[in-house]
Amino acid sequence: MDYLYAPWRREYVTRKKSGCVFCDIAKDRSDDEKNFVLYRDKYCFVVMNKYPYTAGHIMVIPLQHIDNIENLNEECWLHISLMVKKCVTMLKKEFNADGVNLGMNIGKGAGAGIAEHVHYHIMPRWIGDTNFITTIADTRVFSSDFEKIYKRLKKDINRYVRDN
């Protein structure tokens, strides 16, 4: 059996849990910059993933604390789906992403790290963005600084998510 290690995620998996991290972010707008929130509206918020798999990894999260999509209000579900589409457009145009991975792990059994609050992952990808260094050197290489990416996306997002 082969093993693939991801040491950059240690802080995430060992953090002390007290309540729902997404609900905490949803309730307190005063820490939006510290929490890397890019956008908010009446249904959801868009935030950069603090433990990214790729540079520019963002998440769309409903304001409602819910662990499944089956019971999510249909209007909210459709809005979130449209928000994901707009974020994909933004990442392709502003970051010249060659592709995008979308993911939603619903439940612990599906690999959800925060199973109590559903959320979409949106990860920009580029041809050649993976290489051997992660596997052999326990190192993740990002082509851009996390805070610079946040500032750029924060500046750009309103052009993409506003209603047309």
Q: Please identify every residue annotated as catalytic.
A: 119
Cβ atoms within 10 Å of 40's Cβ, excluding its own: 15
Cβ(83)–Cβ(64) below 8 Å: no
Cβ(9)–Cβ(111) below 8 Å: no
Cβ(53)–Cβ(150) below 8 Å: no
Cβ(58)–Cβ(88) below 8 Å: no
d(CA 113, CA 111): 6
Q: How far is CA 5 from CA 78, 86, 133, in A?
A: 36, 33, 12
Q: Outline where the chain has alpha helix (H).
A: 10-14, 21-27, 74-95, 133-137, 146-161
